[in-house]
Chain A
């Protein structure tokens, strides 16, 4: 009798859960570069897909392809009752601010920028910490003690990546050479693999043998150039080690997927909170990637050393300077 009651209660509970599940309408708006850039935007996609798989709740998404669409799309999503709306990319911040004011009951998640409103959760990553780690590994593995960095569009966020990387590289060897290039100054810099591969080749000619790209779709060209030249590449945002097994030294992963998934789950459980979240190594927001694709490139000693540096950053023994604090890479 008791078990039958429990069973009935269970069924009733799950029925209620199903009803409340059907009520949430999550959505994602990707930035330029597209859903399948194998990098930043794809991470939000992965998170949303994981949520869909676990809960069976489907979501709506949109890929921004030109500046004019941003406002229209966000407005339409809000009007149609989507919530939360996960918005990836700092360039969408002004639009989020505008639309979020008009729809105070809709929840927004702003990734990579800060929008200070009671219905917006802003998530900022400590990319400099993750970049420091991969920079350290780059110098450990560089034969010539020369490592390179290719940024996408020349903006403070990307300078933050570059600066963290440089600090990591110099942490291992003070005399290491660090070359840095930016692909361009317009959004098309996220989508120019040809130029990415030329920039990479130019750095290889100057002796660079490990290269890190934080450049969205442009990175695909950088990695290809590295593979063609027999050098090592470091991926960004998503774990990109699988792109060229054995040629990708590691990836600086930024867990945008977790941010997206958590936001959806919080909404589902009625626990959505607004405000600023800054996630770094300690919070599991950024990290370096170690998997079966790059395992063979590393020795036990390398992995141990990386673990020590990682602990050092978390404990605060290693201070990583954030470019955005001073608008310069002085540390």
Chain B
């Protein structure tokens, strides 16, 4: 297998690994831009994954699974929203509560319903989102050098949610910077007083933001359980929600930056799986432990030295109290 094929297969894997991060990071951007810290991305994703697997298994239709995942994530988002907006609670604690709730309840429910120790039954291909081949992929791959295989192996062949993820980034960019709602959302995160004095309800803007975040977390969870895998498994998000949150900060709360960060993290994860046991000239085979650590090392180095200061929305984490 030649070098290009190796490279393209690596890039294809990067995109698959980055997709759940992209959804979750966009969810984080909506929420945090409106002034609500969302540390519960992990828990929402996990519960979304569980709900998607259950609904898809019961109905046999992955689209119902997706709807189920979204519905449960909106519910969790509203809980978080109620605690942070209405009750003015500590948003980090409320978010953590969501994570704990999801971590415990998914396994408990799964065990009660399917008696497989928290696993959901394996899904057939009809119950999943499987890869789709884009038009002309095969022909281009065979007949046009470099660009053809690039299209065939990197761009084509993913499941539909991967393409949706990239669409969501563009949509988020457009909504945030080109619509009235986006302007209000950003203003609420920076100066809720100004928004309030303009006669706009801060609470309503923030509720809408967390609902959107819930929808996107539903996509992320669904992707994990019924597109990339074929069942829900205990703690299957394994920290992806936190990585997405890091990507939001890394990308300075901007969709473009967050997308780049997610792709970088995805690339590093994919690289880790591919460079194990590869002989490096002069040095020999490197230990697998080193490669497992690389994503974290690079993250620290980049965050510490290369991207400059990340400034959060001014009002993030602060409950809004209307002056009387």
Contact = CB atoms under 8 A, between A and B. Distances in A.
Interface of A: 34-37, 63, 154, 179-182, 184-185, 188, 191-195, 197-199, 201-202, 205-207, 217, 220-221, 224, 228, 243
Nearest to B10: A202
Nearest to A186: B292
B201 interface: no
Contact of A198 (B6, B16, B117, B236): B16
Contact of A197 (B6, B116, B117, B228): B228
Interface in B96-150: 115-119, 122, 125, 130-131
Nearest to B229: A193
A202 B13 contact: yes
B36 to A, nearest CB: 28
A34 to B, nearest CB: 5
10 contacts: A34-B117, A36-B116, A36-B118, A36-B119, A154-B288, A181-B273, A193-B231, A197-B229, A217-B233, A220-B229
A205 B235 CA distance: 28
B261 interface: no
Interface in B186-236: 224, 228-231, 233-236
Contact of B236 (A37, A194, A206): A194
B5 interface: yes
Contacts of B116: 36
Contacts of B238: 188, 191-192, 194
Interface of B is mostly: loop
B9 A205 contact: yes
Size class of the B contact interface (CB-based, 8 Å):
35 or more
B264 to A, nearest CB: 16
A37 B119 CA distance: 9
Nearest to A63: B117
A313 B194 CA distance: 81
B61 interface: no
**B117, B118, B274 pick with most chain A CB within 10 angstroms:** B117
A130 to B, nearest CB: 23
Contacts of B130: 228
A36 B114 CA distance: 11
Contact of B1 (A193, A207, A220): A207
Given A181-B276, A202-B9, A228-B130, A194 B270 contact: no
A191 B289 CA distance: 17
Interface string B256-292: 0000000000000110011011000000000011001
A320 to B, nearest CB: 22
B17 interface: yes
Contacts of A184: 288, 292
Contacts of B231: 193, 220
Given A193-B229, A198-B13, 11 more contacts: A35-B117, A181-B273, A181-B277, A181-B288, A198-B16, A199-B273, A201-B9, A202-B9, A202-B273, A228-B130, A228-B131
